Amino acid sequence: MTPSALLETAALLGLFVLASGGYGSLYSAGRIWSRPALIRAGGVCWALAFALALVIAIHTPLDPGWKLLILASAVVYLVIPPMTWRYLDRMHHEQEPHR
C-alpha cells in the first residue's frame, strides 16, 4: 500500500461508516418527528455510503475479500435502521396496554 493510498483508504472507510451512521440518525429522526424530508436525507446518506463502498471496491488496494465484505455491509446498513425501528415500535406498542 502506498503512503497516499493508506490515508485515502482509511478516510474512505471512516466516511463509509459515518455516512451509514448519518443514514441511521436521519432515518430515525425523520420517523420520530414525522418529517419525510429527513427520511429522504437519510436515503441520500445511504446512497453516499454505497457510493463510498463502490469507490473503496474499485479504487483502493484492499484485498478482494475485504472489498466484498464492505459492499455486503453497505447492504446490511440499509436494513438495520428500518428493522430496528419496526422492532422497537412493535415492542413499545405491545407494552402500552400494560402501563
Partner 1 sequence: MYRSQKLSLRYYTAAVTLFGVMILFGLLSALYYLYPSLLFNIFNFNMSKILHIDTLVIWLLMGFLGAVYWYLPKELGREVEGMWLAELTFWVFCAVVAVVAIVFLFVQYGGANEFSMWFINQGRKYVEAPRWASIGIVAVMLVFAYNVIATCIKARKMTGIMWVLVLDLIPLVAVYLDAFPAVTNMSVDLYWWWWLVHMWVESTWEVLIGCVMALVLMDVMGTSRRIVETWLYIEVMLVLGAGILGLGHHYFWIGTPQYWLSIGGFFSALEPLPLLGMVVHAIYDAGTHRLKTRNQPAYYWITTEALLNFIGAGIWGFMMTLPQINLLSHGTQWTVSHGHFAFYGAYVCGIIAVLYVAKQQTSGVDVLGGRAWKWGFGLLNFGMVGMVMGLLLAGMAQAFYGRAIGGSTLMAFTTASENPWFVSGMWARMFFGVMFAAGYVVLAYDLLSSPKRVPAAGALPEPA
Residues 50 and 72: beta-carbon distance below 8 Å: no
Contacting partner 1 (CB under 8 A), which of 44, 48, 50, 69? 69
We find the least distance from the C-beta atom of residue 28 to partner 1, in angstroms, to be: 4
Please, what sign has the CA dihedral across residues 54, 59, 64, 65? negative
Contacting partner 1 (CB under 8 A), which of 6, 44, 47, 51? 6
| Residues 17-22: contacts with CB under 8 Å, at least 24 apart | 19/45, 19/46, 19/48, 19/49, 19/52, 20/45, 20/46, 20/49, 20/74, 20/77, 22/48, 22/49
Q: Is 33 in the site for partner 1 (CB under 8 A)?
A: yes
Q: Is 42 in the site for partner 1 (CB under 8 A)?
A: no
Binding residues for partner 1 (CB under 8 A): 1-3, 6-7, 9-11, 13-14, 16-18, 20-21, 24-25, 27-29, 32-33, 61-63, 65-66, 69-70, 73, 76-77, 80-81, 84-85, 88, 91-92, 95, 98-99
